C-alpha cells in the first residue's frame, strides 16, 4: 500500500509540475474548437478528419450544460461573393431507423428513392450563363462564399460550356455540388495520401495563385441543379451527364428498401479506397421532387439525407482516469468515458500508456480526445482536441 502511495505522489507531481503553458496550450471549449476548425477548413489549413469533426458536433449536442453561448463564428473576410441560391448542408442520418423512415416517407407518396455516393470534397456553386461558365464560389456561410472562378477555369475536367440537346439552355443554370480531386489522375503524379485529398482541394481554393498542375485535376460532382425545369431527379441526371459531368449517371441508383441502400453503401465504402474520387457515404433523395419539402432557406433541407460510412474515429470526453498494475509491476493509465460505438464495438475506455507517456500528454479528466481502432479491434487514443481547466486526476491507485 505504501508503494502505491509513493507511485501516486510521483505521478501527481509529474503532471502538476508541467508548465502551465504546456498544459493549457490547447484549452478551448468545444464551441471554440469547432469555430477554429471551420476557419481552418475555409482557409485550406485543416488536417482533421470528418469523423473527428462530426464527433465534436455530436459531443456538443449531447452536452446538457451548454458551454457559454454559441459563438458567432465568422469564417474568412474574403467570403464576399453572393450565391444565386442559399447553400445549406445535408442532414446526416445517425441511425438505421432514420434511413428507414426516410424511405417510407417517399414510398408512401408513391415515389422512388435516388441513391448516389457522397463525394468528399468542397461544396461550391457554379453558374452558367447561356451555357458558358461565368462564376464559381465556395459555400462559405451559405449566403456568401469565396470567388474561385479563376481556379475552376484551370480544371481540365469541369465543362466550361454546356451544349443543349433537344431544349434551349436557360439564361442561367445554377449547380450546387462538390469540387474534388481526381485521384486517378493525380495518382500518376505520386499522390499517395488519399486521406488528405479533400484538404488539398480546400488549400487550392485558398491560394491566390493556385498551382496549375493540381488545379488541372479538379472535377465537379453536381448534387443539385438548383433551378432545374424538371420535376424528376432522373431527368436532371441525364441532362447533367449529357453536359459532360463525369460519373454522375453511372453512379446514380434507385433503391426501394433498406437492404438495397445498405448494399450500395458498402459497395461505395470499398470503392472509395480505389478511386477515382474520395467518398464518405451515400446520399438519398426523392426522384419526384415534389414529394419532399424543398425549402432553399433551410440550413438542413428535408429533400435529401446523407448516410456516412461507419466512422473510423470517435470523440469522447474523459470521465475518469485510473491506473492498473501489470504482472511486471508496470503502471498503465486507463482513460474512461461514456460508451461510444466504433467499428461495431462498444468502447468505454482506452489505455494511455505509463507514467512517462501521461506526463508527456498531460491528459486530465474533462479533456476531449479522439480515439481510433488499431488493428480493427483495439481502441487507442488518437489526439487531444480540447483541454479543460479541471484539476489533475488524483484517484488512488
Query: How far out from the chain centre does Cα 385 lie?
Result: 16
Cβ-contact 346, 339 below 8 angstroms: yes
Cβ-contact 340, 128 below 8 angstroms: no
Within 122-257, residue ranges assigned H as helices are: 149-153, 183-186, 197-206, 212-215, 233-242
User: Rounded to 5 degrees, what angle do the CA atoms 355, 356, 357 make?
Assistant: 95
Q: DSSP string spanning 167-186?
A: SPPPSEEEEEEEEEE-HHHH
Which residue has cell 482541394? 201
Which phi and psi angles does 153 have, rounded to 5°?
Answer: -65, -25
The yes-or-no answer on residue 118 being catalytic is: yes
Q: DSSP string spanning 74-107?
A: ---TT--EE-SS-----EE--SHHHHHHHHHHHH
Residues 6+ away with beta carbon under 8 Å from 94: 58
User: Residue 350, SS3?
Assistant: strand
Of the residues 45, 47, 64, 118, only one is catalytic, namely: 118
* Positions marked catalytic: 118
Amino acid at each position: 500500500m505504501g508503494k502505491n502511495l509513493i507511485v501516486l505522489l510521483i505521478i501527481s507531481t509529474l503532471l502538476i509540475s508541467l508548465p502551465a503553458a504546456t498544459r493549457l496550450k490547447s484549452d478551448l471549449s468545444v464551441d471554440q474548437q469547432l469555430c477554429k476548425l471551420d476557419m481552418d477548413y475555409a482557409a485550406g489549413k485543416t488536417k482533421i478528419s470528418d469523423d473527428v469533426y462530426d464527433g465534436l458536433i455530436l459531443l456538443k449536442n449531447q452536452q446538457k450544460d451548454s458551454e457559454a453561448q454559441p459563438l458567432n463564428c465568422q469564417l474568412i473576410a474574403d467570403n464576399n461573393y453572393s450565391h444565386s441560391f442559399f447553400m445549406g448542408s445535408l442532414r446526416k442520418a445517425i441511425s438505421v431507423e432514420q434511413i428507414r423512415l426516410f424511405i417510407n416517407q417517399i414510398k408512401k407518396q408513391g415515389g422512388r428513392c435516388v441513391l448516389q455516393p457522397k463525394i468528399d470534397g468542397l461544396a461550391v456553386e457554379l453558374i452558367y450563363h447561356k451555357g458558358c461558365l461565368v462564376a464559381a464560389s465556395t459555400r462559405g456561410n451559405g449566403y456568401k462564399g469565396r470567388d474561385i472562378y479563376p481556379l475552376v477555369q484551370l480544371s481540365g475536367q469541369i465543362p466550361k460550356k454546356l451544349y443543349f440537346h433537344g431544349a434551349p439552355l436557360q439564361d442561367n443554370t445554377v449547380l450546387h455540388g462538390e469540387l474534388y480531386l481526381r485521384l486517378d489522375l493525380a495518382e500518376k503524379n505520386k499522390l499517395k495520401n488519399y486521406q488528405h485529398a479533400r484538404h488539398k482541394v480546400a488549400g487550392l481554393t485558398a491560394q491566390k495563385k493556385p498551382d496549375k498542375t493540381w488545379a488541372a485535376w479538379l472535377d465537379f460532382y453536381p448534387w443539385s441543379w438548383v433551378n432545374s425545369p424538371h420535376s424528376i431527379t432522373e431527368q436532371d441526371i441525364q441532362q447533367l451527364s449529357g453536359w459532360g459531368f463525369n460519373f454522375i449517371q453511372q453512379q446514380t441508383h434507385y433503391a426501394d428498401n433498406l437492404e438495397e441502400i445498405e448494399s450500395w453503401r458498402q459497395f461505395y465504402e470499398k470503392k472509395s479506397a480505389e478511386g477515382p474520387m474520395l467518398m464518405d457515404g451515400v446520399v438519398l433523395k426523392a426522384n419526384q421532387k415534389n414529394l419532399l419539402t424543398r425549402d432553399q432557406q433551410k440550413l438542413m433541407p428535408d429533400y435529401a439525407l446523407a448516410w456516412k460510412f461507419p466512422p473510423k474515429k470517435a470523440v469522447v470526453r474523459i470521465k475518469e482516469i485510473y491506473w492498473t498494475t501489470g504482472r511486471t509491476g508496470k503502471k498503465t493509465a486507463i482513460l474512461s468515458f461514456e460508451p461510444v460505438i466504433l467499428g461495431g464495438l462498444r468502447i468505454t475506455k482506452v489505455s494511455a500508456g505509463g507514467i512517462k507517456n501521461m506526463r508527456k500528454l498531460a491528459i486530465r479528466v474533462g479533456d476531449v480526445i479522439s480515439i481510433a481502432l488499431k488493428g480493427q479491434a483495439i481502441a487507442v487514443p488518437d489526439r487531444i482536441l480540447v483541454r479543460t481547466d479541471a484539476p489533475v486526476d488524483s484517484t488512488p491507485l
